[in-house]
Structure 1
Amino acid sequence: MQIIADTHTHTISSGHAYSTVTENAKAAKEAGLTYMCVTDHASTMPGSPHHWHFVNQRVIPDVLEGVRICRGVEANIMDEAGNLDMPLYVYLHLDWVNASLHEPVFRPDSESVHTTAIVNTIRNGIADAIGHPGNPSFPIDIEVVVKAAAKQGIALELNNSSFNGSRAGSESICGEIALLAKQYGALITTGSDAHFANDIGRFDSVRALIKKVGLSPDQIITSNEGLFLEYVQKRQNQRQEIIKSLMD
C-alpha cells in the first residue's frame, strides 16, 4: 500500500532533533512522499521553541523540493481534561496537530488517568491525531480510546519509531490498536516520528502491521491524496469552529 504523507516529523527546532525543514523535505522527496507535516514539539517539552515559532510557520513555503508542506505541531497533552500546551489562537491556522503524552510533561500515572486524558483530548477536537498511542509508558484502555477516536473521527497514529527502539514494548500494543481500529472503523495516520532526515517517510514496520492486520486503505488517511486532503480540510474547519467558540 502506498503512503503519500508523513504526519509526524521533527526539525532542529524540537531541541533534540538534528535536521532542518529543507533537509527533511529533500528526504521526503527521496522517499516518494507528496506531503510532509512539520510537527516540532510544542513549548512545554524541554528544549522546544516558544509558541510564536509555530505562529510564524507561515514563512515556510507551501512546497519544498516538490513536497507539499503542512505546518503543524506535536502538542503535549497536559492533564486529564485533555488540555494542550499552547494558547488556542496558535492552533487556529495550523494544518496539522498531533497530540501526545510525553514523560517530561505528563507524569505517567494509571491506565484510567491516561485513558481519560486521551479520550478528552479526542473529544475536545483540537487535535487531528493522537501521537504514538501505543507508548507502553502510558498504558490505556485501548478499546475505550479506539471507540472514542472512531466516534469523533480523529485519527490514531501508527508510529514507525515506536517499533524501532524509541518506545520498547510498543509492538503488541500497536497491534491491538490496529486490530480494534479495523473492528470499529477508526481512522489511522502514519508517522515516522523522524528526529533525523534519514527517517523521514520510513514506514517499514507500520506497513508490515497494516498488512498483517488487513486494514483497509479507506481507513488509512495517508493512503491517497484525496483522502488526506479531505481529512485535513474537514479537521481544519472543525478546529477553527471549536477554537473560535472557545475564544468568544
Structure 2
Amino acid sequence: MSVADETVVILQLFPAELGVTGDSGNVLALATRLERAGGTATVLHHRIGDALPAERPDIVVIGNGPLSAVRSVIGDLRRIAPELTEWVAAGIPLLAVGAGMEALGERIVAPDGETIDGIGVFPVTTDRAGARHAGYLVVESSVGRIVGFEDHRTVTTRRDGAAPFGQVTSGVTGTAGFEDGVRVSNAIGTRVQGPVLPLNPVLTDFLIARALERRGLDWSATPAHAELDRLAEEARGVILANIDHAFSTI
C-alpha cells in the first residue's frame, strides 16, 4: 500500500513560543517529504488555550525556546498532558527539540534554583545552570547518524533505565562522549538543532514511517526525494567539514 492520496496530520505545539530555532523547518520537512510521495500533509498549530484536535494527530512536533517561553506554556502543557501521554503510549511519533524536550520531562531547575515541574512524558530532569555548549555535533542514534548543532547551558539527566536518543560522537563543546536526549517508544527528545529534520532525512523518514505503519502502510524514500536528500547531504557535508569549530556567538 502507498502513501499516495493519504492525509497525514502534523500537530505543532506552541509554534510562537517554542519555535525560535527554525523549528517550523521541522514541520516543513515532514510535509514536503510526504507531498513529494503523493500524500497530503495537514499542519495544525496548538496555541495556549486551544482545544486539541478531536482526532489524534499522526505526528507531534514541539520546538525549542528560552526558559521564559517554557514558563509561558507550561500551564497549558499540563492541561493537555493526559492526551499527550496517551498519544506517546499509543506509539504516535513525537519530536521534541531542546526546551520542548525539557518541558515534556519531569523537572527543570532554573539557574536561580527555581524548580519547574514538567509533564513527565520523558523520564528526564534538566539543570539549566550548566556550562555553555555551542557548536556542531554528530549523534549516532538508533535511527542513524544525526548531524546539526547545539547551543544551550543545560545538563539533562535520564532516570535509571531510560533510553537516550543517541551517543554524541563528535563535537568540541564538551558533549562528545556523552549521550543525547531521550527516546520513549516513538517519541524522541534531542538537543540537535539545525533545524534537525531538513538536515537529517533519516530521522524525518523514521517519524513518517512510524506514523504510516499505524495505518498498515509502508514508507521509504523514493526518487522523488532525491533532490531533498542531495541538499541535505551537502549541508551535512559542510557541518562535518567544520565539526571542530565552536561558535563564539549565535
Q: TM-score, normalised by structure 1?
A: 0.33
User: Which structure has the greater CA radius of gyration?
Assistant: 2
Q: Higher helix proportion, which one?
A: 1
Q: Higher strand proportion, which one?
A: 2
Q: TM-score, normalised by structure 2?
A: 0.33
